[in-house]
Amino acid sequence: MGYLVRFDCLVQEPLFSFKPYSPMFKFLYKLVNLKLCLFPFVLFSAEEQKKPNIIFLLSDDQSTYSLGCYGNKDVKSPELDRLADDGMVFDRHYDTTAICMASRASVMTGMFEYKHGTNFGHGDMLLKTWEKTYPVMLHKNGYQTAFAGKFGFDLRDEPNGKRLPLPEKDFDKWGGGPGQTNYNTAKNESMKHYANDYPHSTRSYGAFGRDFILESTKSDKPFCLSISFKAPHKPATPDPIDNHVYAEKTFNKPANYGRNYGAHFSKQSKQDRQYERFHSWNYSDKYDEVMATYHQQIYAIDVAVGMIRKALKESGTHKNTVIIYTSDNGFFCGSHGYGSKVLPYEESSRVPLIIYDPRHSNSGKKLRAKALTGNVDFAPTILKLAGLPIPENMDGKDLMRVYEDPKTAHHSSLPLINVWGKVPTHVLGVVTEKRKYLYWGYAAEGFKESEELYDLEKDPMELTNEMKNSKNSKSIKRMRRLYDQHLAKWKNGSVSYNDYERFGTLFDRNIPWSERKSALSSKTYQEEKNFKKVN
Ligand SMILES: [Ca+2]
């Protein structure tokens, strides 16, 4: 093709109308014309080459301590550890809402929950919000796009409008599914053709990624592959092919394991299922068995990541493909005597993040970033990688600036949000690189407003609430001020639907409970009576 272009350039009419004066001039003249003629092609091909392929991999309910690259010596995660060695590990990465639906919406929109207005118990994402997500924008701007796995939220054309089908049409290849999807590949409509070879869903997503990557080479377009694994979400259903991996294994417990290390957590945080699941999910009495199952599910993700990287190599796209690996929320696994996720403590809100950009000179140096980063950063990062502008509505920032300089600061603070579940557990917090502040505002009979402050630098296991230490008055003042700033953004920026506006009042620590109480929903008044009975 290149030779044809050059030949065409030489034989076509000169760009200028005057005649050459000498053989040398004629030669130079042709050379200039050749360059001018080739210029747009050179530019075009350089521009195309600059655009990387992008792979975004999301696990479901995965804690940082489930990976070797985050310091757990009991687990086997060779592929993800290799990805970490090849790329960069982020040690201070948070899901600003630590629950599937809202977190996935933040990932795709680059916005905090109160701005995308999407969560269980609140409502679906509006179509106009979806149209500003990274998958849609990449699809519209020359990328081949694919999605597989748990999509995690639904769409409506208006808040009380009809629920729309999942946006399969916005992707070139689709292996996604509604709701929680199924661990049984045969039961996932868009993935069931993989069921014979990969009866368990986790490896089927590896196969989907592999096939999309290999097919992508037929096109000149760059690709963006997004896979949302179901694993290791409950109900615990590991692939039996991996039963040998943790058979009879005993696991070391983290230093904050057990109820003794949760006594200082707020009474409000103990009012929903996250608290009772320490027992009902058997962290208290069958720890090794439960953890073996949990880690076995993550082991299968590790295998799937290996399948995807092998396909990158085989297709020759490995040198121009950026890989991002993270989770939609963490998991307590018995830390502080809690199970599950949702609450803004470290185990549930801080999650793994590995990025590998093979084009960058910082790759392969085993660097770790301490910068404060969040799930709202992915959409801006992916748009920037694709050479697209980052819309102003996004709260996140391009993570590749941290990849460029892992010692740089990123966010000075991020909000940590929970407005799902039983009312006392609704909480707004703020985290900085060094500290975390939580405000539990529910103060009906039997409860008092409470605050927690953690020095994450000295106390990453959150063992001491620093609110009562008089030495911390400066930190408390600063963290309260940051909290107030985030709340002001909520008040100014929350969507007007799906029950988000009233939290601007409920979370206002400067308004007494007697006045804030008016912002409880009528349904909540009824729930409040039930909490009074409990306490
Ligand atoms: Ca999740």
Query: In angstroms, what is the span from residue 284 Cα to ligand 1's centroid?
Result: 22
Quote the pLDDT of residue 534: 43
Structure confidence by residue, pLDDT tens digits, 299-309: 999 999 999 99
Class of domain 53-409: alpha beta
- Confidence tier at 69 by pLDDT (50, 70, 90): very high
Written as one letter, the residue type at 349 is: S
3-state percent helix, strand, coil for the chain, nearest multiple of 5: 40, 15, 40
Query: In angstroms, what is the span from residue 61 Cα to ligand 1's centroid?
Result: 4
Query: In angstroms, what is the span from residue 329 Cα to ligand 1's centroid?
Result: 5
Structure confidence by residue, pLDDT tens digits, 334-390: 999 999 999 999 999 999 999 999 999 999 999 999 999 999 999 999 999 999 999
pTM: 0.90
pLDDT at residue 403 is higher than 90: yes
> Of 312, 397, 403, which Cα lies nearest the Cα of 363?
403
Write down the residue that tokens 């070139």 correspond to: 172
Q: Cα 322 to chain center, whole Å?
A: 15
Query: In angstroms, what is the span from residue 360 Cα to ligand 1's centroid?
Result: 31
Query: In angstroms, what is the span from residue 130 Cα to ligand 1's centroid?
Result: 20
Query: In angstroms, what is the span from residue 99 Cα to ligand 1's centroid?
Result: 5
Write down the residue that tokens 């377009």 correspond to: 221
Which residues face 177 on adjacent strands? 150
For helices 201-216 and 287-315, give the axis angle rounded to 10 degrees.
Answer: 10
Instruction: Between 30 and 66, name the one with better pLDDT.
Output: 66
Query: In angstroms, what is the span from residue 27 Cα to ligand 1's centroid?
Result: 66
CB of 34 within 8 A of CB of 9?
A: yes
Cα four-point dihedral sign 449, 255, 464, 329: negative
Residues 391-417, mean pLDDT to the nearest whole number: 98
Query: In angstroms, what is the span from residue 227 Cα to ligand 1's centroid?
Result: 14
Query: In angstroms, what is the span from residue 230 Cα to ligand 1's centroid?
Result: 8
Query: In angstroms, what is the span from residue 401 Cα to ligand 1's centroid?
Result: 27
Query: In angstroms, what is the span from residue 60 Cα to ligand 1's centroid?
Result: 4
For helices 378-385 and 100-109, give the axis angle rounded to 10 degrees.
Answer: 30
Question: DSSP 3-state assignment of 68?
Answer: helix
In the β-sheet with 367-369, what is the strand arrangement from edge to edge?
173-177, 144-150, 223-228, 53-59, 321-327, 353-356, 88-90, 367-369
The count of other CB atoms within 10 Å of the CB of residue 40 is: 9
Quote the pLDDT of residue 179: 96
Quote the pLDDT of residue 260: 97
Mean per-residue pLDDT over the chain, rounded: 91
Query: In angstroms, what is the span from residue 17 Cα to ligand 1's centroid?
Result: 67
Query: In angstroms, what is the span from residue 152 Cα to ligand 1's centroid?
Result: 9
Query: In angstroms, what is the span from residue 524 Cα to ligand 1's centroid?
Result: 25
- Provide the residue ranges of all domains of the chain, joining segments of one domain with +: 4-48, 53-409, 415-534
The count of other CB atoms within 10 Å of the CB of residue 168 is: 13
Query: In angstroms, what is the span from residue 103 Cα to ligand 1's centroid?
Result: 8
Quote the pLDDT of residue 47: 47
pLDDT at residue 46 is higher than 60: no
Q: Where are the alpha helices (DSSP H) in 95-173?
A: 100-109, 113-116, 127-130, 134-140
Quote the pLDDT of residue 6: 32
Residue 44, judged by CB atoms within 10 A of its CB (0-12, 13-18, 19+), counts as exposed
Query: In angstroms, what is the span from residue 207 Cα to ligand 1's centroid?
Result: 22
Quote the pLDDT of residue 445: 85
